[in-house]
Amino acid sequence: MAAGRYRRFLRLCEEWPVEETKRQRDLGAALRQRVAQAFREGENTPIADPEACDQMYESLVRIHTNYYKNKYPRLKDTTFTGVTVEDCRMILATDILKQMEDMKKGTWRRLREKFSARRPEEDSK
């Protein structure tokens, strides 16, 4: 029975999309890594808790198929701030987050230099 579970997880990993914009933060890549860790011996891997394994698989399938998105449709595809799904995807892209982090570092560095610089009157004391 472990072979069947292993094949189902592999099929799910193949179907799960990989988002190139979220390098090192992608759910699909994390799923592939966890499946590889859990099934180190492939089809021969012993499963300690088959019920929990099946429950996890079913949960992942519901996420993959947008079960709850379809079950509870939203009236609008925006947040309370008016930001659309595409805007959120763009903002959460790794490249944009890295640019924002660099901007923060620049501001922090400027403030640190401003307050850590000694004034001439302090040197004479």
Domain ranges of the chain: 1-73, 75-119
User: What is the per-residue pLDDT across 72-114, written as a single tens digit (0 to 9) for each?
Assistant: 988 877 777 777 877 777 777 767 666 766 666 666 676 776 7
CA distance 62 to 3: 22
Instruction: Assign 3-state DSSP to the chain and report helix, strand, coil percentages, each to 5.
Output: 65, 0, 30
Per-residue pLDDT at 63: 93
Per-residue pLDDT at 84: 80
Question: Against a cut of 0.85, is the pTM above it?
Answer: no
Strand partners, 78: 84
| Mean pLDDT of the residues in the chain | 80
Q: Can you tell me whether residue 124 is helix, strand or coil?
A: coil
CA distance 30 to 24: 8
- Contact between 9 and 39 (Cβ < 8 Å): yes
Burial class of residue 57 in the structure, from the number of CB atoms within 10 Å of its CB (0-12 exposed, 13-18 middle, 19+ buried): middle
pLDDT band per the 50, 70, 90 thresholds, residue 66: very high
